[in-house]
Structure 1
C-alpha cells in the first residue's frame, strides 16, 4: 500500500522515530511527519475473470490451414492437421507452430 504526503503529494517512507521503538511516516521533500500508532494494512479480494482462449476461443481452428502431418498422440493414425504459427518468443527465435489433428482433435505445438 502506498501512502502520499498530504502537503506535497510525494511518496511517504517509513522510518524509525528518534526515540526508537516506534515508526513514523515521513516525506523526503518537505518536513511532514506522522507517527504510526496502529498497524496500516489493506486487504483486497479481486474477482477472477473468466479465462478465455488466448488464440481466438472456440472458432480459432475454423479458418486454419491444413497440412499433411502425423498426429503426435499415441494410437492415433491421423495424417492431416490444421495449423497456425505465432511468434511467442523473441524476434530472433523461430515461430511456434500449433497443430490440431483432424481425426482425434489432439492439439500440440512445435518450435520451428
Structure 2
C-alpha cells in the first residue's frame, strides 16, 4: 500500500492506458506518481540442497546402553538402544535399536 505524501490518503492504482505508464494517484488531491517498468532481475541464485545429517549415528548407537532384545534380522539377543522424543511431548518416546552382532549392525525402531 502506498499513501499520498500530501494528504495521507491511500493511493489508487491505474493501469497503463494508450501509451501512458501505470501510476498511483490520489483521489482527494492532484498528487500523481508514475511507475517505471524498468525492473530487471540482475542475477539468479541457484539453490543448493544441504546434506541432511542422520538422526541416529550407528557409531554413537553402538556405544549406547545395551538391553536384551532380539534382532528381527539375525536373531541375536543383544542390542544397543537410544530413546528420542520424535513426536509431541504427550506421546511416548521412540526407541531406536542397533544389533550388537559384528556382521549385522541392523537398526530398527519401536514406537
TM-score past 0.5 threshold: yes
How does 1:21-40 map onto structure 2 within 5 Å?
34-37=35-38, 40=41
Equivalent residue, structure 1, for 2:71: 71
Distance 2:90 2:53 in 1: 29
Deviations 1:49-104 (A, max 9, x none): 3443334x45412431100001122xx12111000100011011110000001111
1:82 is aligned to 2:83: no
Partner SS state of residue 60, structure 2? helix
Q: Which has the larger radius of gyration?
A: 2
Aligned alpha-carbon RMSD (Å): 3.5
Segments of 5+ residues of structure 2 without an aligned counterpart are 3-12, 25-31
Unmatched runs of 5 consecutive residues or more in structure 1? 6-14
**Superposition TM-score, scaled by structure 2 size:** 0.58
State TM-score, norm by structure 1.
0.58
